[in-house]
Amino acid sequence: MTRDSSTSTGNGPDPETLTPDPDAGALRAAQGRRVRQRRMLALTTLAATLVLGAVGWWAHHEVEQSMRATRGDALRSVLDSEAQSLRTWIDDQKLGLRRLARDPDLRAQALDATRATGVTDAVDCNAPGLRDFMAEMEQGLADSGALVFNLVNRSGRIMLSNRADYCGLAYQAGEVEQNIAPVFGGETIFVTPGAEADRLVPPARLLRPLQPLLWFRAPIRNDAGEVIAALGIGHLAQDRFSAILAAARAGETDEVYAFGRDGVMLSQSRFETVLQERATLPHATSAAGRLVLRSPLAEADSRTRLVEAALAAPAGENGASGMLLDPYPGYLATPVVGGWRRLAAEDLFIAIEMSAAEAYAPLEALDTVFAIVFGVLILAVVIALFYWFTAVLIRAEVEKDRMGPYWLGERIGEGGVGNVYHARHDLLKRPSAVKLLKPSRATDEMTARFRREARLASQLTHPNMIDIYDYGIGVDGTLFYAMELLEGDTVGDLVLRGGAMPVARVVHLLRQVCAGLAEAHGKGLVHRDISVTNIMACLYGGEYDFAKILDFGLVKSVTGEQSQTVTRSVRILGTVQYMAPERLHDPSDVDLRADVYALGAVAFFLLSGRRMFETEDTLALTSRVINEEPPRLSAVASQPIPDELDALVAACLAKKRGNRPADILAVKDVLDRLAETHRWSQADARAAWEAWHGDVNEPGEESSSSLPTA
């Protein structure tokens, strides 16, 4: 539950102290000109900075994109050229191998070897007459740069080889099916580089079991045209690929290399020495076949970004390629850019990479220039912001004590929704009280309530209602309204400091409250927050104990629709001690008799000096107000209570509104009759006023009690 207990109390500093200096107008005008000049300079600087910054960013972006595109075209051109060179070499090797397969001596040796193995696959690599043939083949291999040759029968058995450690070995079933069976079908094929240890059974005797070899295989036919053997020529991949791909190296860091589907490098790395120094490779060991292209900055199983992109391409897509022009960590962990291309027929990839620093070296000079330009722009922004905030501070200094046409003084009241300040109109010099809506409470609902409070309260002209002068919005967006400045105290404060009031004084004050409420009720307005904090006993127009009704924050029209949009909330607003039970059941269920109940609760407190229900727990209090009959005033008051007044208070506090007085005028009629026998003269009021204010103005004394605001 929330409520606003802001009051327009007096007893503050002399309002004359709020009068501006005679020269303040000229000073404010000069300060206003300074504010406008600084704002204009700040806005002009900011606008120019934004335009220049946008143009600079666009120019830098276009140059960078153009340079990236140029670099991408250059890398792609190298890849295309190297792919063509590699395919040309492969085609030449196939052509030469087909010629060799037609050599009469080789065909004769193949025929003899086939006959010798027969159906038993028994191999005799030391057969008579092979020595001269092998010497001749060794010379041919040396001329072509090949490492090994062999003749393989249909079952995958090696019948002849220039390497004794190959003779008699057999290829695994998968290798036979993929790379030997097609040869017996008449094809000349290129075999993707791989480790011999993964192809042969057993692999232990091989000279280089782990280094990848690439093979060319062609069919050898007999005189009848039947394929009798598969001729294979093997090359070390690192030697042949490196010889072809290294020709594309132009700069200090660019490198073209080949790799397979397992992400293993097949050619020789340009940075063998660096890899050996980092212990990535054993000393004097080539990267080919041993270097898995991982990113040293990523997890152990993570390939470099280029390899991942290449392997993610569809397997059957020939000529697929990609460019990675945003720097990424290469296999040496340095930032690089690069591209890749798939050779689908050969089942391998070629890649080109170069350091990002070398690739985008021209951008460094451009970045330096733009850094200087943007540095100047940032300095300009700082200067502009300095002038802007200076202007804001000057404006804030000028306007901090001003709200519309009112100059604010000290705060004289505070509530849950608003604060109230001493104020003086700039031109009329009239002392006033200005109520401001707290920024923290400026929700849509509270803003609507505040506006409604000012609008509806301004319609009331009865002397016992506080007079609303003005309404507006401050330069900072704060809502405010101005009202008359009252000199006096709330009746709640009077009871808390002085105890229960005499019957005559209470009757005198409540008659005036009834008169003020009568005007409001006549216009269909219910106050909904009548309480001891919203009724003041004032010195007004020379008259003591002049009652004023304050705080129209919860006022509601019961005859129109203007307030319905802000009264549908299920929250209970107000002070529970003074709320009619039906409001606690349903906050929107209210009529004029809710003010009658609240007036009865006020009378109970003023006459007894105590609450109707003593509890600090809000839920318990709500339950008691709804369900429990309050005690009779005459039973708890320390002073005699007239029977008619006791009955009036009990009737006002009836749980069912139908049992309360019909309207506020019926209450006033009873109070008018009581006033005839319980008179409160101006002499009585003045004596009470002087006794009270002599007490509160005594130095060092403060109230030790406070009115509950649950």
Tokens of 186: 């008449």
Task: List residues bridging with 421 in a β-sheet.
Answer: 411, 434
* Per-residue three-class SS string for 130-197: HHHHHHHHHHHHHHHCCCEEEEECCCCEEEEECCCCCCCCEECHHHHHHHHHHHHCCCCEEEEEEEHH
Q: Determine the Cα–Cα distance for residues 677 and 79; give it in Å rounded to an integer.
A: 115
Phi and psi torsions of 269, nearest 5°:
-75, 145
CB 180 within 8 A of CB 156: yes
Q: Of 639, 669, 302, 671, nearest to 500 (Cα)? A: 639
Q: Is 91 tagged catalytic? A: no
CB 337 within 8 A of CB 344: no
Burial (CB < 10 A; 0-12, 13-18, 19+), residue 20, is: middle
Q: Of 550, 555, 575, 579, nearest to 567 (Cα)? A: 555
Cα angle 701, 706, 708; round to 5: 175
Q: Determine the Cα–Cα distance for residues 309 and 35; give it in Å rounded to an integer.
A: 59
Q: Determine the Cα–Cα distance for residues 421 and 597; give it in Å rounded to an integer.
A: 31
Burial (CB < 10 A; 0-12, 13-18, 19+), residue 696, is: middle
**How large is the C-alpha radius of gyration of the chain?**
51
Q: Which of 489, 529, 545, 551 is catalytic?
A: 529
Q: Of 610, 649, 636, nearest to 496 (Cα)? A: 610
Q: Determine the Cα–Cα distance for residues 550 and 516; give it in Å rounded to an integer.
A: 11
- Residue 290, classed as helix, strand or coil, is coil
Phi and psi torsions of 90, nearest 5°:
-65, -45
Q: Of 298, 300, 345, 340, nearest to 321 (Cα)? A: 340
Tokens of 385: 């912001």
Phi and psi torsions of 167, nearest 5°:
-60, 130
Task: Give helix 643-652 / helix 664-677 axis angle, nearest 10°.
Answer: 160
AA identity, residue 298: A
Q: Determine the Cα–Cα distance for residues 560 and 526; give it in Å rounded to an integer.
A: 12
Catalytic residue positions? 529
